[in-house]
């Protein structure tokens, strides 16, 4: 048996400990999970009914989720050929790299960032170049270092990953910064704008990938149903790009990657009838985000201006805080030496976090 060296060297994907595991290992019986940037709500109305109606599970779905592409195309005003769906946008990070990189080609991304960018590069045998985010402790929080990203681009750069709002730092990218970066890279390099959290971004001056796709044939926008739509467990995401790139991404993504159930759940979530409830939930998360940010700043913590459904508290004590919080039944995600990422949950979960955090971090 021979496993490729690049694959042998890969760490397992780590999503941290679950409440069930913590309880089984003698910790608190009912932990609050604020580590996965998930939605605190059950599926939108109509989703469970759509799942129970989807009984033809003996039949394959269409290879590339045709009904969903048609619905998304109509909603976004793009050709369904421009859309590449997959079982989660994480898969699409890999598809983008596999469609463009030969071994030794380069992939650039800010660091820290969603770990899938590095993972995608390493699996494909591409070289990953991480560019530190700028201004960790600026008042608005960390942002994109456009000059350093541009300087890192070389003749073998095939993909530049951007993320807005950025995971883990929570801030959205300024439209001007993305325009500057796009004009500095050649049309041969794909720029991937990962908008997993875009629905939570209420600032009109930040980048909107869908407005740029038509005029930028080397741009790929990634979206997901995992966050604002609350379907992380169903696994469904999609890319929007120039139709030639959309076709290439569909070809490298496993056919049937979107199950019949996942497609039914996504279609039900897009139904016009549920949009008022969808918007109500978004507003609730954004209001809770404001409440948490104000309270933590009042206590003296360095909290970034979040445009997502999570907060970033810059600190070199993040690991210590996360351990203390976990012992008190609140699971968060530390980035060693940099900061703590805390998902915005429902009101009672957020209150549990605020109480535990006062114990752990003081103030």
Residues within the interface to ligand PMP (CB under 6 A) = 37, 88-90, 114, 163, 167, 194, 196, 224, 226, 232, 237
| Least distance to ligand PMP, CB of residue 2, Å | 29
Sorted by sequence, the CB contacts under 8 Å of residue 275 that are 6+ apart come out as none
Number of helices followed by number of strands (H, E) in the chain? 14, 12
In this structure, what are the phi and psi dihedrals at residue 253, rounded to the nearest 5 degrees? -85, 140
The token duo for 48 is 């469970």
Whose CA is closest to 145, among 186, 189, 119, 178? 178
The token duo for 122 is 């390493």
Degrees to nearest 5, angle at CA 139 with 170 and 109:
40
Give CA–CA dist 53/22, Å, rounded: 36
3-class SS of residue 231 = coil
- Max CA pair span of the chain: 58
| Least distance to ligand PMP, CB of residue 348, Å | 23
Give CA–CA dist 166/162, Å, rounded: 8
Please identify, using beta-carbon distances, which residue of 225 and 357 lies nearer to ligand PMP: 225
Q: Name the residue number minimizing CB distance to ligand PMP.
A: 88
Give CA–CA dist 168/171, Å, rounded: 9
Please identify, using beta-carbon distances, which residue of 281 and 341 lies nearer to ligand PMP: 341
Please identify, using beta-carbon distances, which residue of 114 and 200 lies nearer to ligand PMP: 114
| Least distance to ligand PMP, CB of residue 269, Å | 13
Note whether 66 and 266 are within 8 A (CB).
no
| Least distance to ligand PMP, CB of residue 194, Å | 5
Specify whether the backbone of 125 is left (phi greater than 0), alpha (psi in -120 to 50) or beta: left
Rg of the Cα trace of the chain? 20
Please identify, using beta-carbon distances, which residue of 123 and 354 lies nearer to ligand PMP: 123
| Least distance to ligand PMP, CB of residue 87, Å | 8
Note whether 205 and 175 are within 8 A (CB).
yes
| Least distance to ligand PMP, CB of residue 343, Å | 10
Please identify, using beta-carbon distances, which residue of 194 and 305 lies nearer to ligand PMP: 194
Please identify, using beta-carbon distances, which residue of 80 and 237 lies nearer to ligand PMP: 237
| Least distance to ligand PMP, CB of residue 163, Å | 5
Please identify, using beta-carbon distances, which residue of 37 and 315 lies nearer to ligand PMP: 37
| Least distance to ligand PMP, CB of residue 86, Å | 8
Sorted by sequence, the CB contacts under 8 Å of residue 251 that are 6+ apart come out as 99
Please identify, using beta-carbon distances, which residue of 225 and 301 lies nearer to ligand PMP: 225
| Least distance to ligand PMP, CB of residue 117, Å | 9
Please identify, using beta-carbon distances, which residue of 78 and 90 lies nearer to ligand PMP: 90
**CA distances in angstroms from 357 to 52, 117, 316, listed in the order given:** 41, 31, 15
Note whether 277 and 42 are within 8 A (CB).
no
Per-residue DSSP letter, 333: E
């Amino acid at each position: 048996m021979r496993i490729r060296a690049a694959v042998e060297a890969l760490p397992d994907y780590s999503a941290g400990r679950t409440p069930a595991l913590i309880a089984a290992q003698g910790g608190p019986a009912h932990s609050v999970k604020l580590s996965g940037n998930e939605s605190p709500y059950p599926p939108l109305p109509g989703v469970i009914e759509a799942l129970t109606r989807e009984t033809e599970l003996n039949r394959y779905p269409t290879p590339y989720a045709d009904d969903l592409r048609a619905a998304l195309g109509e909603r976004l005003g793009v050709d369904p050929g421009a859309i590449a769906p997959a079982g989660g946008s994480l898969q699409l990070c890999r598809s983008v790299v596999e469609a463009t990189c030969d071994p030794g080609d380069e992939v650039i991304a800010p660091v820290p960032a969603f770990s899938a960018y590095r993972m995608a590069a390493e699996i494909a045998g591409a070289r990953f170049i991480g560019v530190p985010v700028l201004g960790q402790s600026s008042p608005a929080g960390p942002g994109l270092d456009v000059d350093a990203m541009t300087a890192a681009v070389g003749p073998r750069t095939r993909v530049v990953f951007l993320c807005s709002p950025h995971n883990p730092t929570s801030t959205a990218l300024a439209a001007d910064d993305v325009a500057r970066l796009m004009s500095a890279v050649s049309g041969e390099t794909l720029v991937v704008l990962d908008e997993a959290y875009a629905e939570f971004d209420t600032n009109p001056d930040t980048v909107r990938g869908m407005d740029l796709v038509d005029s930028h044939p080397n741009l790929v926008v990634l979206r997901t149903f995992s966050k604002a739509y609350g379907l992380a467990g169903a696994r469904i995401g999609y890319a929007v790009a120039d139709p030639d790139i959309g076709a290439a991404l569909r070809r490298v993504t496993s056919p049937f990657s979107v199950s019949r159930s996942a497609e039914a759940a996504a279609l039900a979530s897009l139904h016009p009838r549920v949009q008022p409830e969808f918007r109500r939930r978004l507003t609730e998360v954004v209001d809770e985000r404001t409440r948490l940010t104000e309270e933590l700043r009042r206590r003296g913590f360095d909290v970034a201006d979040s445009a997502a459904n999570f907060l970033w508290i810059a600190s070199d004590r993040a690991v210590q805080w996360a351990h203390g919080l976990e012992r008190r039944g609140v699971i968060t995600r530390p980035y060693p030496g940099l900061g703590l990422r805390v998902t915005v949950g429902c009101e009672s979960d957020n209150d549990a976090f605020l109480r535990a955090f006062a114990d752990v971090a003081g103030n």
